[in-house]
Structure 1
């Protein structure tokens, strides 16, 4: 018996049933930052001639990135935590962290154990603050809660511009 049938058998009908069903959802699980975030007034122009180093160790040009998911200005005060090793930010459903001097990693903010946006970067690994799921820099789970792994994105940096892409 699922929740719908159980509540219906308890006498909930029509609008009352829908009210009870939606009360079981947390507000934080119903919104996605990428859909509600307003664009900034600042327009970033990608550098077209400077090769950059990406986290996997290959080089690319920012203008050749076909599907950017997130673009960050590393000189902006909102992104100041990315200037130090171990620092991270969570934006638009993506966690970006400086894993070692000049190297960055990006993963989804949504934990694979339960779909909640609770992933942070904790010194050397990604960590879910709700259930303790742990993931290495490649997204591989380090304990039973993290066994499903995390989605990892590619990162490219040129000057003060960081681009997360798939």
Structure 2
């Protein structure tokens, strides 16, 4: 369970959730998670085996997981971070956020973007992007220009991207849902440290 999922399950939302997510420290990288087993019982993550991964740069990562994590991590270079799905927001540290090449940066503490503190709220930024906080609590972003006709009329509505000009409807991943949306829609990745949201 991620920190975000834990805080959401604890009932935090909106500004209070963003405030708690902004309190990330580099030593918060490992949390013993509470899991629900198939039989309905709960416990903490455990198991035996070796965990290994790859980090962009020069270095090695190794360790053994058995209730607690031990091992060494040596890294020199930069870390590349990317979201796995276009509709998922990547919550990262401020330092990691600054290393991503952004198309757009949004100050979430600004009153200009207060709609992004409410689930289902959206804003149009720089006449180029429509950015929303989905009903599932993820920041999402798309081009404001419809692929049906190049008009800047895309909005976020009912967990879809919608063109107010001719009714083109798109999934959050940009796939067309009707004939006017057959060309799809350009979707962007998002990442935040809780105070700044970037579109990339």
Instruction: State the TM-score, normalized to the length of structure 2.
Output: 0.53
Q: 67, 71, 75: which is aligned to 2:105?
A: 71
Aligned counterparts, 1:59-138, within 5 A? 61-66=96-101, 68-92=102-126, 93-138=128-173
1:15 corresponding residue in structure 2: none
Q: Deviations over 1:23-64 (max 9, x none)?
A: xxxxxxxxxxxxxxxxxxxxxxxxxx7689955465652122
Give the alignment's Cα RMSD to 1 decimal.
Answer: 2.6
- Deviation, 1:70, is 1.0
Number of residue equivalences: 118
- For structure 2, the 5+ residue unaligned runs are 1-24, 30-80
Alignment pair present for 1:150 and 2:199: no
| 2:142 alignment partner, SS class | strand
CA distance in 1, matches of 2:89, 2:110: 25
CA distance in 2, matches of 1:89, 1:57: 16
Change (3 A) 1:57 1:129: closer
Q: Confirm or deny: 8 A CA contact 2:89 2:191 kept in the other structure.
A: no
CA distance in 1, matches of 2:193, 2:163: 30
More helix by percentage: 1
- Deviation, 1:85, is 0.8
CA distance in 2, matches of 1:57, 1:71: 14
